């Protein structure tokens, strides 16, 4: 009998919860062929043509909502655990 498992990994976090930093992070993350497993041309059109023009503002709001602590400096939950 084959066993299946799930591997959870942290693939990074934006430098801050500001839309421009979230956009940079999403671009680097989503352009990885292991994250979106489609041909490069289609992935580029999807990520740079659609996602990076629609998601950064909403994703930045979600990162701000989930900040750890009350400090002004960005403190992503993943970064807090990984330190």
The pLDDT tens digits along the chain (83 residues) read: 888 888 777 777 888 889 999 999 999 999 999 999 999 999 999 999 999 999 999 999 988 887 655 444 455 555 555 55
Q: How many residues does the chain have?
A: 83
- H, E, C per residue of the chain: CCCCCCCCCCCCCCCCCCHHHHHHHHHHHHCCCCCCCCCHHHHHHHHHHHHHHHCHHHHHHHHHHCCCCCCCCCCCHHHHHHC
């Amino acid at each position: 009998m084959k066993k299946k498992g799930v591997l959870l990994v942290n693939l990074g976090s934006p430098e801050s919860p500001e839309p421009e930093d979230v956009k940079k992070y999403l671009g680097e993350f989503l352009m990885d062929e292991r994250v979106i497993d489609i041909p490069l041309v289609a992935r580029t059109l999807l990520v740079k043509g659609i996602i990076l023009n629609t998601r950064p503002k909403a994703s930045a709001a979600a990162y701000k909502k989930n900040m750890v602590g009350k400090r002004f400096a960005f403190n992503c939950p993943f970064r807090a655990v990984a330190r």
